Structure 1
Amino acid sequence: MAQFNLLGVLGTNEIIIILIIVLLLFGGRKIPELMRGLGKGVREFNDAKTNVKKEIEESSNDIRNSTEVK
């Protein structure tokens, strides 16, 4: 939700200026490497989020099963 508000505040000119500054700072060859690293980071975050969710569901199922047995 916050991302949509942030992008709503930035206009096309501001986004173009930011992209030009990033291109000047990092160069054309470095940007794909940065994006790959960012993609790997997002993928690892999503995997960790999925694993945590799975562990919580498994533990809640274990608790339900142990209370049903009694």
Structure 2
Amino acid sequence: MNIFGVGLPEMVLILVVGLLIFGPKKLPEIGRSVGKAIRSFQEASNDFQNELKREAEKIEESVKMNAQLESKTTVAVESADAEGENTIAKPEQPASAPEG
């Protein structure tokens, strides 16, 4: 049994010292309050981790959407350029002057 890096002998020693300091009536109350504090800390930690995961997923989604938009824009511009090259009027050649 190893909780927070504290083994069984250390736990027994902590309980004995707690009994001597606080007495048998106060010790269960202190244990409950410590347990509640640890539980609330774990819940807050889990909430924080879940919030970070949600934000990371939102960022990934927006990056993917931006990449898709950029690729569509690039394809559209390239196809417009390719079509435009065929329809651009070439300048007329000036008539050559007779040599004389």
TM bin (shorter chain): 0.7 to 0.9
Match of 2:60 in 1: 64
> How many residue pairs are counted as aligned between the two chains?
64
Partner of 1:49: 45
- Counterpart mapping for 1:17-32 below 5 A: 17-32=13-28
State the identity %: 31
1:35 alignment partner in structure 2: 31
Report deviation, 1:19: 3.2
- Which structure 1 residue ranges, 4+ long, deviate > 2 Å from structure 2? 14-21
In structure 1, C-alpha distance between the alignment counterparts of 2:43 and 2:36, rounded to whole Å: 10
Q: 1:68 to 1:16 in 2, by over 3 A?
A: closer
- Greater RCO, 1 or 2 (C-alpha within 8 Å, sep 6+): 1
SS of equivalent to 1:28: coil
Deviates more, 1:17-26 or 1:28-37: 17-26
Pairwise CA RMSD of aligned residues? 2.3
Instruction: Go from structure 1 to structure 2 and tell me whether the alpha carbon gap of 1:68 and 1:26 turns closer, same or farther (over 3 Å shift).
Output: same
Query: Quick check: which one's helix share is greater?
Result: 1
